A and B are shown apart, each in its own frame.
Chain A
Amino acid sequence: MTILRTNNLTMKFGGLTAVSDLTLEVPEQGIIGLIGPNGAGKTTVFNMITGVYKPTSGNILFNNTDITRMEPHVITKNGIARTFQNIRLFKDLSVLDNVMIANHLRLDSNFFSAVARTPGYREKEEGIRKKSLELLDQVGLLEFKDTKSTALPYGKQRKLEIARALATEPKLLLLDEPAAGMNPQESIELMAFIKEIRNRFDLSILMIEHHMQVIMGVCEHIYVLDYGIKIAEGNPGVIQNDPKVIEAYLGVEE
């Protein structure tokens, strides 16, 4: 079963074509990689899937629903969550608050009962708190729950971003360079972590990454973009030996 499918997705900014005619698929429970040199249009693909950009043409199907022109928050509600390349946490708020905010969209209490703190609302809030603490425990951040999010070390901030995304209860998780800035040891841990959340939360993952070790280690299928065009796809073995990929990407970097 396919959970996400983009059909001939194209994004133009003025005269510049950032992504051209991209068709890709993410199967249920899959871990899919999206790689390519800097400026290849990878983040633009994420921005289209999450509704930040409206594609110039083409469409995006998620769970067989067309989400192409939906607002970002509606798409999140439908079950797609993301992290950002340059970490975007709610800086001034605590680690726990960061995760609890991501539950706000599933809270079906209205404003008045929330401010009046009705028993019904309190019960729901308590439920969210419990769930959030549990989630923090699962990603190993429980001891930092009252820390200001920006006071966390870099690697843990990345983890918190993933935890926050998980709190929205996604079916598809988009990770934008989760290994950026991590040392080899942390990268190896991250690989295990990604596989673990896939299994535990029963979701699919589409990830952008420059770290070849991570990509080759966790992804079942990889798409390669160059100048916004898909130049190759396949399993890690195929990608590693594809001459076009080596020329465009692997030969230049790594």
Chain B
Amino acid sequence: MIDKKNIIRLGLILLVLAVLTILNNTMGKYEIRILNLAGIYIILGLSLNVINGFTGLFSLGHAGFMAIGAYTSSLLTMSVIQKESNFFVEPIVPWLANVQIGFLPALLFGGILAAVLGAMIAAPILKLTDDYLAIATLGFSEIIRVIFTNTQSLTNGALGIKGLTRYTTVHYTWGIAILTILFMFSLRKSSYGKALMAIREDQTAAEAMGINLFKHKLLAFTIGSFFAGIGGGLLAHLMGTIDPLMFRFLLTFNVLLIVVLGGIGSISGTVISAIVVTIMLEWLRFLDGVIDLGFMTIQGIPGLRMVLFSLLLMVVIIFKQNGLMGRDEITIDSLGGFFARFRKKEA
């Protein structure tokens, strides 16, 4: 079916791709890194939004799922030599020593493993409500981190993995981000997406309408963990280094911040927020470091940046409980309406 909306949609995607290509060719290394991070945070934000926003389950385990994706894809893309130079304390387990596959299949594999483990972790705790589910998922995420710190011959333990090939480029991050956005809109529109939202609105009524709570909550967790795993893999191959400390609760906090600021349940809000928060997180790094004003330098204060962000989170949740955009979406229709009004004003 070719209708007007699809043409506009395709046009928009092409426009974004064109802008990205231009940015990719003109910007410096540091700016491109931020651009990549923004793409990754879009994927991560949307993945948490499926669980927290669509389904109304409060998960704090995202860093754990990301860790699974990051480690899996890294161990799969590393060459034999890379593995040998990393695993000097204890050699890597034999069945992984000689495996090396391409970046995309490795990412996919990381996502799938994160999804499978995510589903396995979620299954026994799905009946828990609100804050208990939050604490249990946080618990699992910490357990994953503790395990990764201790399995020397599998993850290289606390030393982490260094010198990963930096496969992650703007094409990968934004390409996957756009696919994720399309997936999310399609999910939202589908019968399954609506079933998830029914659970968010009223679990008892949803069940009485024949919705299998367990199956659908599990679905939300599986989707969320899959994309978290992909995001983790992209992050690993952007940084070039991973270690268990990277996947602390702080990482989940950053993703949660994006979803809350953007609008819990809003796809477009999460996307905008991911870009804005990533840029702010990087731009405000100066607060933690040295500020050079030309005529004088101010010693930055470590921690100040996160003070600002935690304040921001609290202010937004206190004054606008569903985040800045709530559950509203920017769609082609609403854009059309906006421009129509704009034109009227001009006339």
Contacts and interface: CB of A to CB of B under 8 A. Distances in A.
Contact flag (A, B; Cβ within 8 A) = yes
Interface of A: 50, 52, 71-73, 76-77, 81-82, 84, 88-93, 97, 100-107, 109, 111, 114-117, 121, 125, 128, 164-165, 167-168
A84 B204 CA distance: 10
Contacts, number: 98
B78 interface: no
Contact of A73 (B190, B201, B202, B213): B213
A168 B205 CA distance: 12
Contacts of A92: 197, 200-201, 327
B202 A105 contact: no
A102 B202 CA distance: 13
Contact of A82 (B192, B198, B208, B327): B208
A107 B212 CA distance: 13
B192 A114 contact: yes
10 contacts: A52-B207, A84-B205, A90-B202, A93-B198, A101-B194, A102-B209, A104-B195, A107-B191, A111-B219, A116-B186
B195 A73 contact: no
B202 A115 contact: no
A49 B207 CA distance: 14
Contact of B194 (A88, A100, A164): A100
A73 B211 contact: yes
Contacts of B209: 76, 81, 101-102, 104-105, 164-165, 167-168
A-B CB proximity, top 9 nearest: A105-B210, A76-B210, A90-B201, A88-B205, A114-B190, A72-B207, A102-B209, A101-B198, A104-B195
B283 interface: no
B195 A72 contact: no
Interface in B145-177: none
B187 interface: yes
B208 A76 contact: yes
Contacts of A82: 208
A75 to B, nearest CB: 9
Nearest to A167: B209
A93 B186 CA distance: 17
A245 B202 CA distance: 36
Determine the main DSSP class of B at the interface with A: helix
Given A50-B208, A105-B210, A128-B191, A115 B183 contact: yes
Contacts of B195: 101, 104
A111 B216 CA distance: 10
A115 B187 contact: yes
Contacts of B211: 73, 101, 104-105
B337 to A, nearest CB: 14
Contacts of A102: 209-210
A76 B212 CA distance: 10
A115 B192 CA distance: 8
Nearest to B189: A117
Contacts of B187: 115
B194 A104 contact: yes
Contacts of A104: 191-192, 194-195, 198, 209-211
Nearest to A103: B191
Contacts of B206: 90, 101
B210 to A, nearest CB: 3
Contact of A90 (B190, B197, B219): B197
Nearest to A84: B205
Nearest to B202: A88
A99 to B, nearest CB: 10
Pick the most buried of B190, B197, B211: most chain A CB atoms within 10 A of its CB.
B190
Nearest to A164: B209
Contact of B191 (A77, A90, A100, A116): A100
A81 B209 CA distance: 7
Contact of A89 (B190, B197, B202, B210): B202
A97 B210 contact: no
Given A90-B202, A115-B187, A81 B208 contact: yes
Contacts of A88: 202, 204-205, 208
A125 B208 CA distance: 21
